[in-house]
Amino acid sequence: MKTDTIFYRLFQSFPSIFFELIEVPAREVNNYCFDSVEVKQLSFRIDGVFLPQENNRNTPIYFCEVQFQKDDNFYGRFFAEIFLYLSKAKLTNDWRGVIIYPNRRVETDNIQRYQDMLTSGRVTRLYLDELGNLNQTSIGLATVQLITLPEAEAIDATRQLIQRVRNELTPDQKPQELLQ
């Protein structure tokens, strides 16, 4: 899926965007490395896993899924992937799940079985269209929000964001891939 690839590349290149999305201090990014993980046996693929570096047991594992299509079976697979991974992993860290939706309309309303997990504080559901004004958010969050815009709006917003990057960042800070 295109959005999975976009988010994978964004999180791989700029993992701080993920922590900004879930409102965890940016300094936490130094405690993690990012990867896409395939759980063997049933061949589930987790979009992204932020694993604690140096096996810090006080730092949770973050499981990230990007869901841009309505899918009534999504939560069953999401939790199955997490629990299968945890059953096979040697890490004993606590965990958190993060689901990134473009908007609330894409989320399934088939959540009764998963209600306890979804309200437990372990799972964060993010809706990109609710993050706020593109010009008032950070460059990282504004970059993620571009993905949800209609093509006509995205072109103009991208131009504005590129100008913002040029104005706000020094040459050694500029992410070259975003400027091309």
Tens digit of each residue's pLDDT (9 = 90 or more) over 130-161: 887 766 678 888 888 888 888 888 888 888 88
C-alpha span between 162 and 159 (Å, rounded): 5
Q: Is the pLDDT of residue 171 over 70?
A: no
Question: What is the CATH architecture assignment of 2-132?
Answer: 3-Layer(aba) Sandwich (3.40)
Q: Give me the pLDDT at residue 119, please.
A: 94
Per 3-state DSSP, the chain is made up of helix, strand and coil in percentages (nearest 5) of 45, 20, 35
Token code pair at residue 80: 């199955």
Q: Can you give the residue ranges of every domain in the chain? A: 2-132
* pLDDT single digits (tens) 76-95: 999 999 998 998 888 889 99
Find tokens 């997990």 and name the residue.
117
pTM: 0.74
